[in-house]
Amino acid sequence: MVADPLFLAYLAQFDDDAWLRAVDRLTGAMHPVDRAATRAWFHFFPLRLQRAIEDAQDPATLERHLRLQGRWRLEDQRHTSHWFLFGHRYWPDVVAVVRQVSGGLAVPGSLDLAAVVQGIARDAASRCAVDVSWVVGISAVALRTIWSTNPVRSARMASTSSRDGWASTSSGARSTAGALA
């Protein structure tokens, strides 16, 4: 599936605080088991850190300065970073819905991040025949994961020093399958 650059640009506008506000708004809709776990996941993979590394003139030096060791990058653990969420068991179905939405095959009904997550969760719950509360947290995690690990976004980030250089590459859109595959 091809990533919709507009959808990626839509997700790019959100910082850590915006994601956490969306998670906070969704807390009542989440299964109680996933409430704290979802919030913790977003703290484990802060966008501030990812963007600082991407924007650094010498990322390796910054990584050493911050003493980042081991597998700390989300892209290295996109399928396992969320194993502690109850909704983890529905990851393949949630990913399929996120791919559909991010590929432009389904238009989000809202520009509100929490509403987009809720829509993904509803579709995933229907697909899995489970209560929507079971997949709200993992839906937020999947949406953020596809943005953070998307090869189109990563290639464009590498080709420009700004965070919003969506149009500065001529590589065109690539498959979102790599982002969550």
> Quick count: other Cβ atoms within 10 Å of Cβ 46?
15
Task: Note the pTM of the prediction, 2 decimals.
Answer: 0.75
User: Which DSSP string do the residues of 34-81 spell out, in sequence order?
Assistant: HHHHHHHHHHHS-HHHHHHHHH-SSHHHHHHHTT--SS--GGGSTTTT
Q: Confidence band (pLDDT; 50, 70, 90) for 3?
A: low
Average pLDDT rounded to a whole number, residues 138-143: 93
The structure tokens listed for 75 are 């892209």
Three-state SS for 133?
helix
C-alpha 177/C-alpha 99 separation (Å) is 7
Per residue in 23-61, pLDDT tens?
999 999 999 999 999 999 888 878 887 777 777 788 778
What domain range is 97 assigned to? 5-180
| Averaged pLDDT for residues 158-177 | 35
* Nearest partner of 42 among 22, 56, 58, judged by Cα: 22
Total number of domains constituting the chain: 1
For the chain, give the percent of residues with pLDDT over 90. 33
